[in-house]
């Protein structure tokens, strides 16, 4: 559940074109049918004509079109300036145990920071910090550092406190930390909105748009299926994924090379393998996919397995459509499915240089319920 700031706070933000609220909320103008970032420099609407949304998805599905001036569908390149002092301080020393007074000393409201982290990372700031501390402690143990040094160097005041937190998070005591494994989870920007990505030491196991309704379920499924705790951070697979996704959205990458980890039932894995076999720029119907699997008549079961895919875009469930040619369903939203297919089939997309942006925006609006 995404939380919105108070209405008075949002009204002040958009009237002042406050870029620090970009990504926190979107405002839609009832009289024009357009939605914007708070920082948009267009003429300010009357408050009575404004409706607020926490995500691009909700604004689009309410029938609003993206503003051509501020491009709200496109992800921001960097976190807003107001949160940067906190992120910089956190990166300098992840062992800090933050208190509200410390956050305020950096000129940041703790409640606002909490809302930002819930929206951007799917967890509170304090939970994010705990994950960072534990993740760093695991790395230190793997490097062979003494347990006492790890405990004192990562913000824990006692052995018992560290052991309890470590055991609860990683499922084993610190003495066996060198054996502990985890799923690293990070945030990736994309022209279609932010993505949450996860990877084990073997490969990528999660890629979902952050506003997907089933995201929490998918995270829990990853935790259960992989059998490893989820920790904020990155690794080589996630770095490679970011590079390949950038190339994909630029129209330069047609096949991903990053390794995938996708545990599931035997049938689910067969469906996902069949999805991987669909060529770039082509589509298949649920029925034809079932026939290719030797399960003619099981189109509904194929559709269900398709919907349980936890690695969007890379395992291209967006390439499956209804037999009639209609888009069918898509967990990330039909507007995204259309734009992904437009990209792969060589049609104009809003984020490509020289593309017919207005056409892309109209297509996004047309897929609203």
Q: In the chain, what percentage of residues exceed pLDDT 70?
A: 75
Higher model confidence: residue 283 or residue 32? 283
Q: pLDDT band for position 154 (50/70/90)?
A: low
Higher model confidence: residue 331 or residue 158? 331
Residue 241 · residue 224 · CB < 8 Å: no
Q: Which residues pair with 34 in a beta bridge?
A: 29, 65
Average pLDDT, the chain: 80
Arithmetic mean of pLDDT, 15-24: 88
Give per-residue burial for 146-172: e unless 16+ CB within 10 Å, then b. ebeebbeebbbeeeeebbebbeebbee
User: pLDDT digits over 62-95, tens only?
Assistant: 556 778 888 886 655 566 788 888 888 877 877 7
User: pLDDT digits over 22-49, tens only?
Assistant: 888 999 888 787 889 999 988 889 988 8
Higher model confidence: residue 63 or residue 310? 310
Higher model confidence: residue 60 or residue 31? 31
Q: Reply yes or no on domain 266-366 having CATH 1.10.10.10.
A: yes
Arithmetic mean of pLDDT, 314-328: 90
Per-residue confidence (pLDDT) for residue 1, from 0 to 100: 44
DSSP string covering 210-276, please? Answer: TT-TTHHHHHHHHHHHHTS-EEE---HHHHHHHHHHHHHHTT--SS--S-B-----HHHHHHHHHHH
User: pLDDT digits over 294-309, tens only?
Assistant: 877 788 888 888 888 9
Arithmetic mean of pLDDT, 267-274: 92
Distance between CA 17 and CA 37 in Å, rounded? 9
Domains 183-239 and 266-366 share a fold: no
Q: Which residues pair with 186 in a beta bridge?
A: 197
Q: Reply yes or no on domain 183-239 having CATH 3.30.160.
A: yes
> Per-residue pLDDT for 171 more than 50?
yes
Q: Is 317 an active-site residue? A: yes
Per-residue confidence (pLDDT) for residue 369, from 0 to 100: 36
The set of residues, in sequence order, having a beta carbon less than 8 Å from that of 43 and lying 6+ positions away, is: none
Q: Strand ranges (DSSP E) for the chain?
A: 26-29, 34-36, 50-53, 65-66, 183-188, 195-199, 204-209, 230-232, 284-285, 320-321
> Per-residue pLDDT for 356 more than 60?
no
> Per-residue pLDDT for 287 more than 50?
yes
**Hey, where are the domains in the chain?**
7-66, 81-179, 183-239, 266-366
Q: In the chain, what percentage of residues exceed pLDDT 90?
A: 30
Per-residue confidence (pLDDT) for residue 146, from 0 to 100: 65
Looking at 3.40.10.10, 3.90.10.10, 3.40.50.300, 1.20.120.80, the CATH number of the domain 7-66 comes to 3.40.10.10
Lowest mean per-residue pLDDT among 8-17, 88-97, 203-212, 325-334:
88-97
Per-residue confidence (pLDDT) for residue 343, from 0 to 100: 96
User: pLDDT digits over 102-147, tens only?
Assistant: 999 999 999 999 888 777 666 678 877 776 676 666 656 656 666 6
Residue 13: how many CB atoms within 10 A of its CB?
Answer: 21
* Biggest CA-to-CA distance, the chain: 64
> Per CATH, the architecture of 81-179 is what?
Orthogonal Bundle (1.10)
Distance between CA 66 and CA 40 in Å, rounded? 11
User: pLDDT digits over 190-246, tens only?
Assistant: 888 878 899 999 999 999 887 666 666 677 778 788 888 777 778 999 999 999 999
């Amino acid at each position: 559940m995404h939380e919105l700031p108070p209405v008075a706070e949002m009204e002040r933000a958009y009237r002042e074109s406050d870029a620090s609220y970009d990504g926190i909320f979107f405002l839609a103008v009832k009289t024009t049918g357009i939605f914007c970032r708070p920082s948009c420099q267009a003429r300010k609407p009357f408050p009575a004509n404004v409706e607020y949304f926490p995500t691009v998805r909700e604004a689009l599905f309410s029938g609003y079109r993206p503003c051509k001036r501020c491009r709200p569908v496109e992800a921001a390149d960097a976190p807003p300036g107001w949160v940067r002092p906190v992120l910089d301080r956190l990166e300098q020393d992840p062992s800090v145990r933050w208190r509200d007074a410390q956050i305020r000393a950096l000129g940041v409201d703790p409640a606002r920071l909490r809302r930002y982290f819930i929206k951007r990372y799917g967890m509170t700031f304090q939970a994010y910090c705990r994950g960072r501390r534990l993740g760093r402690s695991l790395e230190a143990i793997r490097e062979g550092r003494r347990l006492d040094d790890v405990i004192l160097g990562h913000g824990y005041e006692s052995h018992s406190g560290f052991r309890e937190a470590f055991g609860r998070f990683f499922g084993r005591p610190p003495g066996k930390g060198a054996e502990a494994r985890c799923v690293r989870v990070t945030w990736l920007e994309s022209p279609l909105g932010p993505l949450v990505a996860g990877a084990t030491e073997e490969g990528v196991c999660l890629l979902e748009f952050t506003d997907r309704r089933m995201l929490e379920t998918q995270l829990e499924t990853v935790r259960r299926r992989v059998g490893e705790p989820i920790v904020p951070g990155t690794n080589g697979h996630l770095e490679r994924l970011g590079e390949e996704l950038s190339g994909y959205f630029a129209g330069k990458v047609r096949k991903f090379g990053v390794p995938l980890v996708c545990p599931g039932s035997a049938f689910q894995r067969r469906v996902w393998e069949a999805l991987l076999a669909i060529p770039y720029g082509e589509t298949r119907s649920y029925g034809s996919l079932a026939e290719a699997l030797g399960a003619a008549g099981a189109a509904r079961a194929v559709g269900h397995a398709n919907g349980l895919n936890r690695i969007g875009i890379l395992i291209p469930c967006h390439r499956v459509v209804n037999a009639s040619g209609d888009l069918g369903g898509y967990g990330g939203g039909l507007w995204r499915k259309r734009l992904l297919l437009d990209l792969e089939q060589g049609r104009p997309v809003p984020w490509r240089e020289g593309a017919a942006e207005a056409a892309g925006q109209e297509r996004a609006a047309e897929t609203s319920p």
